[in-house]
Chains A and B, each alone.
Chain A
Amino acid sequence: MIAIIDYDAGNIKSLQFALDKLGVESVLTKDPKQIQVANSIIVPGVGAFRDAIASLNNLGMAEVIKQEAAKGKPVLGICLGMQLFYETSFEDGEWEGLGLLKGTVNRITDAVKVPHMGWNTLTKHIDNNLFKDIPEDSFVYFVHSYAVGGNYEKETLVASSQYGGIIPAIVQKDNVVGIQFHPEKSGAVGLQLLTNYLEMIS
């Protein structure tokens, strides 16, 4: 059972449908107990950082996610969910994140159109199981205005994309995985990536 964190924002259905397709049981939840018993936690995307982290804190979920991640439970953050894993976000102010990963979240440079919206190619940095059966330069779907910035741990970078500079696209540090794009909306490549993640945690 995978616990998908429900923080009252954005499109979570697509992710549930994708997991259904892959034959994995998931539950959308705000209940810390359910999060504790799940074998993996997914923090989904879409929304604004400030509201998302406030919801996680107010509902007592931030603490549970940190505790479970510290115990080694696999946690996956998608889009905003990935950004929430970092220490600080500068989206409309300065907000403290979950701090599972070192680094900050900054606005994408105005030298390019913001949001970064659409299908962009992936460049592989680490050949690990997450990237199994995914061809180099595969297109995946991004939609975000903020991205993980320059001071993250470079050895966590599994894949990146280019958009006004380097955009960390897939990051991994032990049991913590972040995906900046939307695998649930990235066609066959996205489903393969989710399959790889599910194999990794099973």
Chain B
Amino acid sequence: MLAKRIIPCLDVDKGRVVKGKKFLNIEDVADPVELAKRYNREGADELVFYDITASNEERDIFLDVVESVAREISIPFSVGGGIRTIDDINRVLRSGAEKVSINSAAVNNPDLIRQAAAKFGSQCIVLSIDAKETAEGKYEVFINGGRKNTGLDAIQWAKHGEQLGAGELVINAIDTDGEKSGYNLALTKAIADAVNIPVVASGGAGKLEHFSTVLKEANADAALAASVFHYQEIPIPELKEYLQKENIIVRR
């Protein structure tokens, strides 16, 4: 039986893991390789690294981090942040990542998803969507780290992404990000029910129940979180034990 996945997310800035709230107020947390090793040991199912810097010089530092992580862990991980071209994707995959996560660049150039899926296979192309509720029940896609509203409907964009060849969606709910009040269930469910590719819920995890709710009620295939894991507010072994008791299939 396919297990639901628990995915710690590591935002990396200049070679360090940082934690932002609603994409602002960046705080330093840890060394990415050490944190990745800890998660590997604790039974995380997958990791996500977002490179939140953008300059070329910092990009090379980040690729070194990717390679060091790949050397140290034996679980899959994806990499996102600033990926704009086929060459960027190639470099990230060749540094040891399983998947790449594309966000703003896909909105600016949807054909990137199609080309990337054709070249590397859909299974390694993740479309990451930052969505915000702009009117009652209406979610729009934001880019550039949550700063710019594209006016695209999030559910339509998710479906379009699937058609273009994305193999997975990460749905980041901007409104709940960093609030620890739970995932955005309505948004996650609307997208999970609209597509036939795996959906990763992101933004808002604060308690054990938030994970079971989004995996059960919102049909998410995986739940992503950052600070609750980084600061060990929710240890992964405890979370897995809890989810198993809730009759959710997890890898233990």
Q: Which residues of A contact B4 (CB under 8 A)?
A: 118
What 0/1 readout, one digit per residue, does chain B (191-212) give for beta carbons within 8 Å of chain A? 0000011100000000000000
A143 (CB) vs chain B CBs: closest residue: B123
A126 close to chain B: CB less than 8 A: no
Candidates B94, B122, B221; contact of A118 at CB < 8 Å: B221
**Does A11 contact B1, Cβ atoms closer than 8 Å?**
no
Query: Is A144 located at the chain interface by the 8 A CB criterion?
Result: yes
Chain A 116-138 interface 0/1 with B at a Cβ cutoff of 8 Å (1 = within): 11111100000000000000000
B241 CB → nearest A CB, Å: 15
- State whether the Cβ of B71 lies closer than 8 Å to any Cβ in chain A: yes
Contacts of B168 in A (CB 8 A): 115, 117
Within 8 Å of chain B (Cβ to Cβ): is A13?
A: yes
The answer to whether A113 and B221 touch across the interface, beta carbons within 8 angstroms, is yes
State which of A65-73, A169-177, A183-191 sits at the interface with chain B: A183-191
Tell me whether B198 and A118 are in contact (CB under 8 A).
yes
User: In the assembled complex, how far is the CB of residue A115 from the closest CB belonging to chain B, in whole angstroms?
Assistant: 4
A117 to B46: give the CA distance in the assembly, Å: 11
9-residue interface stretch from B16-24, B113-121, B151-159: B113-121
Q: Complex: how many Å from CA A88 to CA B67?
A: 34
Size class of the B contact interface (CB-based, 8 Å): 35 or more
B2 beta carbon closer than 8 Å to chain A: yes
Query: Among B2, B93, B95, which residue has its beta carbon within 8 angstroms of that of A119?
Result: B2
- The smallest beta-carbon distance between B229 and chain A, in angstroms, is 18
| A163: B residues at CB distance < 8 A | 2
Cross-chain contact B70 with A119 (CB below 8 angstroms) = no
- Does B97 interact with chain A (Cβ within 8 Å)? yes
Please state if B120 and A48 are interface contacts (CB–CB under 8 Å): yes
- The CB with the most chain A CB atoms within 10 A, among B71, B97, B123, B197, is that of B123
Closest to B3 in A: A119
Residues of B within 8 A of A20 (CB): 71
Query: B121 and A80: CB pair below 8 A?
Result: yes
Query: At the interface, yes or no: B59 with Cβ under 8 Å from chain A?
Result: no
A145 B121 Cβ-Cβ under 8 A: yes
Contact assessment for A143 and B124 in the assembled complex, using a CB-CB cutoff below 8 Å: yes
Contact B3 A139 (CB under 8 A): yes
Q: Which residues in B have their C-beta under 8 angstroms from that of A14?
A: 70, 96, 98
Q: Is the CB of B196 within 8 A of A119?
A: no
Find the B residue at minimum CB distance from A18. Answer: B74
Residue pair A51, B71 in contact (C-beta under 8 Å): no
B161 interface hit (Cβ, 8 Å):
no
**B2 lies within 8 A of A116 (CB):** yes
The answer to whether B76 touches A145 (Cβ under 8 A) is no
B182 interface residue (CB < 8 Å to A): no
A51 to B198, alpha carbons, bound, how many Å?
Answer: 25
Roughly how many angstroms separate A185 CA and B94 CA in the complex, as a whole number? Answer: 15
Separation of A144 and B76 alpha carbons in the complex (Å):
13
Report yes or no: B74 in contact with A190, Cβ–Cβ below 8 A.
yes
User: What residues on B are CB-neighbors of A139 within 8 Å?
Assistant: 3, 251
List the A side residues contacting B118 at CB < 8 Å: 48, 92
* Interface residue ranges, B against A (CB under 8 Å): 1-5, 40, 45-46, 67, 70-71, 74-76, 93-99, 118-124, 167-168, 196-198, 221-222, 251
Pull 26 A–B residue pairs with CB atoms less than 8 Å apart, ordered by A.
Answer: A14-B98, A46-B93, A46-B121, A46-B123, A48-B118, A92-B118, A110-B196, A113-B196, A115-B168, A117-B123, A117-B168, A118-B5, A118-B45, A118-B198, A118-B221, A119-B2, A120-B2, A141-B76, A143-B76, A143-B124, A145-B121, A145-B167, A162-B1, A187-B74, A188-B74, A191-B74
In the A-B complex, the 6 residue pairs with the closest CB atoms: A13-B96, A139-B251, A119-B251, A115-B123, A119-B3, A143-B123
